[in-house]
Chain A
Amino acid sequence: DIQMTQSPSSLSASIGDRVTITCRASQTISTYLNWYQQKPGKAPKLLIYAVSSLQSGVPSRFSGSGSGTDFTLTISSLQFEDFATYYCQQSYSPPRTFGQGTKVEIK
């Protein structure tokens, strides 16, 4: 199985901060890297697919980058509604594993 490792596991940030979350795959996954946002008590929501393609309706302050095994999710200016847990997922090969999650909290 391909292992996905996110860092950090949690972070505290203020409104307006630039936030970066990293995700590393245990082997190359081409561009099969997706990011999801999950708020407490809610289903996950697709933010970004194919490393950097923004899902329809997702604000442009979210962006993704990377290649091969190392990927990044960036929130350019953190808003109140962005406090949530973020998961990366590789969809290169089954089982299509998720990272362990990064919880973004208010400082």
Chain B
Amino acid sequence: EVQLVQSGAEVKKPGESLKISCKGSGYTITSYWIGWVRQMPDKGLEWMGIINPGDSDTRYNPSLQGQVTMSADKSISTAYLQWSSLKASDTAMYYCARQGDRSRTNSFDIWGQGTMVTVSS
């Protein structure tokens, strides 16, 4: 079964660092880009960016550039999203998703279950 499994919920204080993960299985991780999508409480979906786990090439949403870092370790089929200094406004559910190939118009065809990040003093 093709799936993405994300790390568990996190509660952090402002200024702390954090790295969440997304592990792929049932397919070759290097054959598909992985994307990250943010959903703030009771809000819509926001495309954060994508990473190619094969060579770690990344495309960030310019609105978020510098605020988060995407990375990947292909040896363990895992992608990461990290913050160096969290803010309360980073409180959200974060989803990773597999980006299908161009024949599927780069749609997100497989999604992780989501990681809830809460930042509060």
**Chain A interface residue bracket vs B:** 20 to 34
Cross-chain contact B105 with A95 (CB below 8 angstroms): no
In the docked arrangement, what's the CA distance between A2 and B62, Å?
A: 13
Contact residues of B between 50 and 72, Cβ < 8 Å to A: 50, 59, 61-63
Check A91/B105 contact, CB under 8 A, given A43-B95, A43-B113.
yes
Tell me how many residues of B have a C-beta within 8 Å of chain A: 25
Cross-chain contact B61 with A49 (CB below 8 angstroms): no
Determine whether A94 belongs to the interface, using a CB cutoff of 8 Å to chain B. yes
Cross-chain contact B62 with A49 (CB below 8 angstroms): no
Report the minimal beta-carbon distance from B35 to chain A, rounded to whole angstroms.
8
- Among B12-20, B24-32, B40-48, B76-84, which stretch is in contact with chain A? B40-48
Check A32/B95 contact, CB under 8 A, given A49-B100, A101-B45.
no
Contact of A44 among B61, B100, B106, B111 (CB under 8 A): B111
Chain B 97-118 interface mask (CB, 8 Å, partner A; 1/0): 1001000111111011110000
Check A98/B45 contact, CB under 8 A, given A43-B112, A44-B95, A49-B100.
yes
Residues on B facing A (Cβ under 8 Å): 35, 37, 44-47, 49-50, 59, 61-63, 95, 97, 100, 104-109, 111-114
